[in-house]
Amino acid sequence: MRLADKVTLITGASSGMGRAAAHTFAREGATVVVTDVEDADGTAVAEEIRATGGQAEYRRLDVTDEASWTAAIADVLERYGKLDVLVNNAGISGTFDPDLTSTEFYDRLMQVNARGVFLGIKHGAAAMSGRGGSIVNLTSISASIGQPGVHLGYGASKAAIKSMTTTASVHYARDGIRVNAVAPGVLPPMRTSRGSTDPVWRAKQIEGIPMGRAGEVQEVADVILFLASAESSYVTGVEILADGGFTAQ
Ligand SMILES: NC(=O)c1ccc[n+]([C@@H]2O[C@H](COP(=O)([O-])OP(=O)(O)OC[C@H]3O[C@@H](n4cnc5c(N)ncnc54)[C@H](O)[C@@H]3O)[C@@H](O)[C@H]2O)c1
């Protein structure tokens, strides 16, 4: 078991890659604190894990709200005495608002995607201090390349996460806390996706992927597992692409 006795917290874990990572962590022996703002789905994920013999609980955590972080981390430390792994996975899609220059949506993207990860690193690292740990952030290929139909601020919010990953990796290295990122390419649409659910948009994107297909959530969860586990003990400050070769061209 690659995460035996580890206490882990995953944000946005009620669906998609966060949900897949929660199941994967539990199979590898971790206690998983499943968090999200979608309470019914998050509760269901924790129940699914427990039904298969894993250890999980659901807790509401709005990543934009600092008080929500303080309460969640305090709760984890009180219940389990430590936090070993934090996955900053929660996010909203850049294809939600058809107005790709909406100022209001720019602010929302920055709130959830960038500020959410900033607060996660801040409070997660404080909880890990003195013991060490692993923080895994979800960026995107959009941090590095342009894609049609994606809001101007989405890639910027993900580039902010990419930058915070490298800065935090240096900042916390002597504390034994590793900070890395996973950048998925084209995966199943996010809960908040609109434009990227369009079959024509998707077909065009997939045509441009060297491997000729979209990724599966488990393929990203497996990279998250690698970065969370001791197998990556000398890896910090990197972004691993899981994009079927999209950005290698
Ligand atoms: N799906 C893709 O194609 C793709 C590609 C590249 C990167 N990503 C990134 O991967 C991560 C996971 O994406 P996914 O495809 O699993 O999406 P998803 O929509 O299935 O999951 C994201 C979760 O975050 C939650 N969330 C949204 N706002 C929140 C908030 N304020 N507080 C707490 N939780 C909140 C949602 O409720 C949702 O359950 C995201 O950061 C996303 O930007 C996705």
Token readout for 209 is: 């992927």
* Residues 177-183, mean pLDDT to the nearest whole number: 98
pLDDT of res. 226: 98
pLDDT of res. 171: 98
Rounded Cα distance between 119 and 152, Å, is: 23
Token readout for 207 is: 């045509």
For the chain, the average pLDDT equals 97
Rounded Cα distance between 48 and 14, Å, is: 11
Tell me which residues are annotated as active site: 154
Token readout for 1 is: 């078991």
The CA–CA distances, whole Å, from 211 to 108, 158, 168, 205 equal: 33, 23, 32, 12
Tell me, in angstroms, the distance from the centre of ligand 1 to residue 165's CA: 18
Q: Whose CA is nearest to atom 10 of ligand 1?
A: 138
Most ligand 1 atoms within 8 A of CB, residue of 89, 190, 202, 205 to mutate:
190
Q: Please give all residues whose beta carbon lies within 6 A of any atom in ligand 1, as ranges.
A: 11-12, 14-18, 36-38, 61-64, 89-92, 112, 138, 140, 184, 186-188, 190-192
Condensed to tens digits (0 to 9), the pLDDT of residues 7-42 reads 999 999 999 999 999 999 999 999 999 999 999 999
217: confidence class by pLDDT, cuts 50, 70, 90: very high
Q: E-assigned strands of the chain?
A: 7-10, 31-36, 55-60, 85-88, 133-138, 177-184, 239-242
> What superfamily would CATH give domain 7-243?
NAD(P)-binding Rossmann-like Domain (3.40.50.720)
240: confidence class by pLDDT, cuts 50, 70, 90: very high
Rounded Cα distance between 82 and 190, Å, is: 31
Query: Which ligand 1 atom is the nearest neighbour of the CA of 184?
Result: 6
φ/ψ (deg, to 5) at 215: -80, 165
> Helix, strand, or coil here: 183?
strand
* Residues 108-128, mean pLDDT to the nearest whole number: 98
162: confidence class by pLDDT, cuts 50, 70, 90: very high
89: confidence class by pLDDT, cuts 50, 70, 90: very high
Q: Using alpha carbons only, how large is the chain's radius of gyration in Å?
A: 17
230: confidence class by pLDDT, cuts 50, 70, 90: very high
- Domain positions in the chain are 7-243
Query: Which ligand 1 atom is the nearest neighbour of the CA of 191?
Result: 19
φ/ψ (deg, to 5) at 48: -60, -45
* Residues 47-60, mean pLDDT to the nearest whole number: 98
202: confidence class by pLDDT, cuts 50, 70, 90: very high
Q: Whose CA is nearest to atom 2 of ligand 1?
A: 187
* Residues 147-170, mean pLDDT to the nearest whole number: 97
Rounded Cα distance between 51 and 194, Å, is: 33
Token readout for 247 is: 């950005």
> Helix, strand, or coil here: 192?
coil
Q: Whose CA is nearest to atom 18 of ligand 1?
A: 190
Rounded Cα distance between 200 and 174, Å, is: 48
| Residue type (1 letter), 180 | N
